[in-house]
Structure 1
Amino acid sequence: MIRALIVDDSPGSRHTLVQLLNRFCPEVHLVGEASGVSEALDMIAQHDPNLLFLDIEMPHGSGFDLLKQLTDRKIEVIFVTAFDQYAIQAIKYSALDYLLKPVDREELIQAVSKAKERLDNGKMQLGMDILLENLRAQNESHKKLAVPTMDGFEFIPVGEIVRCEGEGAYTRIFLKDGVNKLTTRRMRDLELLLEQQNFFRIHRSHLVNISFIQRFYRGVGGQVELIDGTSLSVARNRRDELLRRLNVT
């Protein structure tokens, strides 16, 4: 049985989630509700839940502030939040689950199912550790990206990624040290996660770290040479935007 605590400052949001859980997630036993960080800490000490439904933005401390005080506990988290691009980006980097308000029934059922699987396998802590590490990182390149593989997850420093190459439903990630990793993340998913970190999709199959481009060769679309010696063609319709990103006219 999953022992769950809801942490959200909105009574209406808590009520809606309780109703959904009672109706569609019988494996979840609610041990209580908390409206903020301080109350949540007291209830966690009292009831020892193994799952938190956690809001992020609350008046007297965020959900992240709560997690920073729970580093010694094995606890699964499903974030329940209104749209916050920074917060959601951090959560996605760490491969943790989140639900957008208003909560969708099917998404809730799926998130609870995945949480139960992680609890059963004892694999919930790594993603949380990476989330907290990323929140502390001052430099974006020091952040780590959770990369799902056939065996689980690997956590790769973003600043070590030279390029990504699509291979059908998979993507191969090439690192600065010459190692490459095959991930089940699709290219489009990686593009959305990394586009704010100086990555650019030069071709349908190639996403590159602009910081690692050594040369640009002019031609029909052009060609880039990366620090690992790889030469890649640039799609004609991506050339102008790439040159703009490279500050080349």
Structure 2
Amino acid sequence: MIKALIIEDELYIRKGLKSMIDLLDKDIDIVGECESVQEAITVTKACKPELIFLDINLKDGIAFDFLDEVKDLNFKVIFITAYDQYALQAIKNGAIDYILKPVDIDELSNAIDKIKDIPLENKEHLAIVQQQLVHKKKEHLVLRLQEGYQIIRFDALMYCKSDKGYTTFYTSDNKSYLASKPIKDFEDQLPDELFIRTHQSYVVNLKFVDKYDKTGYIFLNSGVKVPVSTRKKEEFVSRLLS
């Protein structure tokens, strides 16, 4: 049996993850659950797990604070997070895999199989897996909303609009989702080949652009009118023509 620890600040996610692990029946023994950095440090040093399922944002800090404190211990890490922008930092900290929330049981199964094939001493094998993770292409964004998590596929996201620290995401099926973070917190998660910042309050998916009016407005194929700031005009026109 592989001794494992779940470090996650949301109780319902810990319960759901534990249920999936039990259902998969892959000889994983959950020896503890933690919701904060300090608790995780204490439990990890006491239990010495071989595997940790690790969330990024914890009650009193972030996962990398925890990893800095226990870097002398030997364990494998599978990151489970709602934020794709942390992937490279996770890899640099020795992650075997990372899974975006909401957790898909098939992805979880594959990640567990992967860690079983990699001895901690085999640095060369680990480096190959980490390189594969760098090139792992994501096709969706995960929003943390009041009622839970919402998956939005990049190819269905028409544009984002920011207002007073909130961002609304508009999709091609005429739905919208409000997140309580500014647009700059999401911009790095959107693929550059599809999206462009046209204004301090707008990010647009070029796939849905129907027309650009020289007076400074984009018209999407849904009929929505989006401004292009003077500062962004040259970059936008260049991207549009290319």
Q: TM-score range by the shorter chain?
A: 0.5 to 0.7
Once the 2 structures are TM-superposed, how far is the Cα of residue 130 of structure 1 from its aligned partner? 9.1
- 2:230 corresponds to: 236
- DSSP 3-state at the match of 1:245: helix
Helix, strand or coil at the partner of 1:196: coil
Shift of 1:144: 2.0
2:229 counterpart letter in structure 1: A
CA contact (8 A) 1:146 1:154 kept: yes
1:25 partnered with 2:44: no
Identity %: 18
Q: Aligned ranges for residues 109-124 of structure 1 at < 5 Å?
A: none
Asked if 1:152 corresponds to 2:148, the answer is yes
As a proportion of its length, which structure holds more strand? 2
Alignment of 1:99-114 (within 5 A): 99=90, 101=92
Match of 1:128 in 2: 103
Cα distance 1:52–1:179, how it changes in 2: closer, same or farther (>3 A)? closer
Partners of 1:237 and 1:131 in 2: how far apart? 45
* Conserved? CA contact 2:82–2:142, under 8 Å: no
| Distance across 1 between alignment mates of 2:105 and 2:85 | 6
Q: Is this contact kept in 2: 1:199–1:210, CA < 8 A?
A: yes
Rounded to whole Å, the distance in 2 between the matches of 1:143 and 1:154 is 14
Match of 1:93 among 75, 84, 87: 84
Residue 193 (structure 1) aligned with residue 170 (structure 2): no
Q: How does 1:58-77 map to 2 (within 5 A)?
A: 77=78
Q: Which amino acid aligns with 1:25?
A: I
**Partner Cα distance (1:153, 1:211) in 2:** 25
For the 8 Å contact 2:157–2:169, the answer to whether it is kept is yes
Pick the aligned partner of 2:220 from 204, 222, 226. Answer: 226
Identify the range of structure 1 (182-191 vs 170-179) with the bigger mean alpha-carbon deviation: 182-191
Counterpart residue type for residue 103 of structure 2: M
TM-score by length of 1: 0.51
- Alignment pair present for 1:215 and 2:190: no
Q: CA deviation at 1:30?
A: 3.5
Shift of 1:102: 6.5
Equivalent residue for 2:22?
none
Residue type of the partner of 2:84?
Y
CA deviation after TM superposition for structure 1 residue 96, in Å: 8.2
How far is the alpha carbon of 1:202 from its aligned partner?
A: 0.5
SS at match of 2:173: coil
**1:143 has 2:144 as partner:** no
TM-score normalised per structure 2: 0.53
How many correspondences in the alignment? 160
Could you report, residue by residue, the CA deviation over 1:37-85 in whole angstroms, capped at 9, with x for unpaired residues?
xxxxxxxxxxxx6x3369xxxxxxxxxxxxxxxxxxxxx9437xxxxxx
